[in-house]
Each structure stands twice: as structure tokens, then as C-alpha cells.
Amino acid sequence: MIKITTPSRLHITLIDLNAALGRVDGGVGITLGNPSMRLSATKSNEGIFVTGNEEYAPRIKAAAQAVIPEGEGVHITLEESFPSHRGLGSGTQSSLSAGWAVNQLYNLQLSVREVAALVGRGGTSGIGVESFEHGGFIVDGGHRFSDKGDFSPSAASRVPPGPVLFRHDFPDWPIVVAIPELQGASSQKEVDIFKKYCPIPLHEVRTVSHIILMEMLPAIIEEDPVSFGDAINRIQKAGFKKHEVALQKKEVRECMDIMRENGAYGAGMSSFGPTVFAVAEDPKNIEKAVSEYMGDTINGSVFITRAGNSGAQL
């Protein structure tokens, strides 16, 4: 039997949805220590079947099918999961976990990135793939636009994950995560958003790149939470992220405002949301304020966690 525990992640922003230099996508993200996903897998003589969670079953089965040798079988049980379509990377982590379990059971000797390509993940953002493999704070370099051919989300893209440009342990800062009981964009809705807003104006891509290179990355190296938080705040108003934020229900944006009003160095939204997060010196005060607000409006969960600086665990 193979058991795999894989982390969730926060996707801070995509970098370049203009492609003027011939590359597209690129992303920045943080691997989380909690919540996580855990599955077990054993060889089977009865084909591929999945138990434990009906919502994830089709995705997990498809991922296993993409990797497993012809004529072989596997029984996968999803023992623990986190909410899907909330901006935590459930699609990539469930697919990679299933594909990696098959890879290990049948000793296929594939790399994580080879499995990611087979199961169709990492075609826009490579953050989830690198989170699975190594964890930490990650910047990836996107794809050649000539290879990808369009502006599209990972679920609709079939190019391999882009190169990792920067990976560093995230400092031991508390992270407040709020997951409203709302669905983020996915499937065709996500594709339509890319079509509507891309290409992003070049000057906005330059703004996002400037913030990442000259404020966010130095803040990670120097362990400066104030500058890191300021970079997070600035990114919410720039590039593709500002459209992702504007498309949310007002309660999601108000959760970020409450985080800032209660002492967060910075607050942002993960991916297409609705999950929001904050880095703060006093996380309990923020957790309490956001919990009270969400309890009166949209419901959901709020908790304090820290970054995960290692990848999936066997």
C-alpha cells in the first residue's frame, strides 16, 4: 500500500498574461502546512476504482488512468481532503497524488513533472506542481506562448509545467486563511474570464513584475513581513489579480479589508478565490474578527496555519 499526504497552496498571482516577450503565465505562490490531502492506494485486479469522496472520484480516476500501465488496476481511497474550487489547488494536488501513487506502485520511475504532464496539470501555473514536489515559496517562469497558443487556465491547457525560477523556504510567519462557503471560478467560467480580460496591458504586467522582483522576493530573503504584506496588498490592485478580485462577491473583498483593519501586514486572495489570506503579527485578532464577520454573512472556516516547506509525504 502507498499512502501520500500532499499540501494545499495559496496562489498569490499570475505574472504575465500579455506575452509581449514571447512567454505567458508565470506565477507566485506559497505552500501551506494545513489543510492537506491524504490518499492511500493498492494494486487491484478489478481495474481502477476510487472510494472515499464522490466529488473527487472522477478527477482521481482520470489521473490514475493517464499514468497506469495498460491492463493494470488500482484502488485509491481518498482519506482526507480540502474544499474544491476554493483557490487551494485541489485539482492539481488530487491529480498529482493519484498519478504519483500509480507511479510508485508500479515502479514507473517517472518524475513529478512527467506525472504532472500526463495528468494535465501545470499548464498555466506551476505553483501546485512545485508545492507537491518541494513546498515553500515559489516563483515559476510560465511557458513559451508559441507552445501554449492562447491565454487559458491550467485545466484547459496541455503544456507541461513551466520552469521554477525561485524556490525558498517561507519564513515562520503565521498565516490566517479564510475559506468562505462560496465556489470560485472553474471549468468553462474560468476559460471565459481569461478570454475576456487577456491580454492584460503590458504596463500592468510590468507593475506586477516590479512588485515581485523588488519588494516581495527581497522580503522573503530578508524575512521582512511588513514589506511582504505591502507587496501582497499592491498585487490585489494590479494585473490579472485585480480582475479576479473584482469578480468576487463583496463579502470576499470585505474579508480582506477586515484582515487589514485588524492588523494584517497584507491580505490577498488565492487564485480565483474565494479563499483569502493574511500575514500578521497578531493572527488571533484577525481570526476572531473574520470569523465573526463570516458567521454573520457567508459562513465558512477561518484558521491559522504556517507555510509548508516540504512537498508531498509518502
Q: Which residues are 166's β-sheet partners?
A: 139
Give the pLDDT confidence of 260-291 residue by residue, as tens digits.
Answer: 999 999 999 999 999 999 999 999 999 999 99
Confidence class for position 156, pLDDT limits 50, 70, 90: confident
Residues 6+ apart with CB under 8 A from 89: 8, 9, 11, 127, 128, 131, 271
Q: Regarding predicted confidence, which is higher, 156 or 32?
A: 32
What confidence score (pLDDT) does residue 185 get? 65
* Residue-averaged pLDDT of the chain: 95
Q: Regarding predicted confidence, which is higher, 166 or 154?
A: 166
Residue 268 CA: distances (Å) to CA of 178, 203, 231, 242, 304: 11, 21, 10, 10, 15
Q: Regarding predicted confidence, which is higher, 163 or 190?
A: 163
Is pLDDT of 184 > 80?
no
Confidence class for position 155, pLDDT limits 50, 70, 90: confident
| Own/partner pairs, 154-158, CB within 8 angstroms, 24+ separation | 154/91, 154/92, 154/121, 154/122, 154/123, 154/124, 154/125, 154/128, 155/91, 155/120, 155/123, 155/186, 155/187, 155/190, 156/123, 156/190, 156/191, 157/123, 157/124, 158/120, 158/123
Alpha-helix residue ranges (DSSP H) falling in the chain? 57-67, 90-105, 112-119, 127-133, 145-148, 187-197, 202-211, 217-222, 225-235, 239-246, 250-261, 283-296
Report helix, strand or coil for 175. Answer: strand
What confidence score (pLDDT) does residue 87 get? 94
Q: What's phi and psi for 41, nearest 5 deg? A: -145, 140
- When pLDDT is averaged across residues 88-108 and rounded to a whole number, the result is 96
Q: Give the helix/strand (H/E) hosting 44.
A: strand 23-44
Give the pLDDT confidence of 133-147 residue by residue, as tens digits.
Answer: 999 999 999 999 999
Is pTM beyond 0.85? Reply is yes
| DSSP, res 17 | S
Ordered structural domains, the chain, with CATH: 2-168 (3.30.230.10), 175-305 (3.30.70.890)
Confidence class for position 186, pLDDT limits 50, 70, 90: low
- Nearest alpha-carbon partner for 309 in 32, 61, 50: 32
Question: Dihedral sign, CA of 265, 271, 272, 273?
Answer: negative
For residue 225, what is its C-alpha cell?
A: 513581513
Report helix, strand or coil for 40. Answer: strand
- When pLDDT is averaged across residues 39-57 and rounded to a whole number, the result is 95
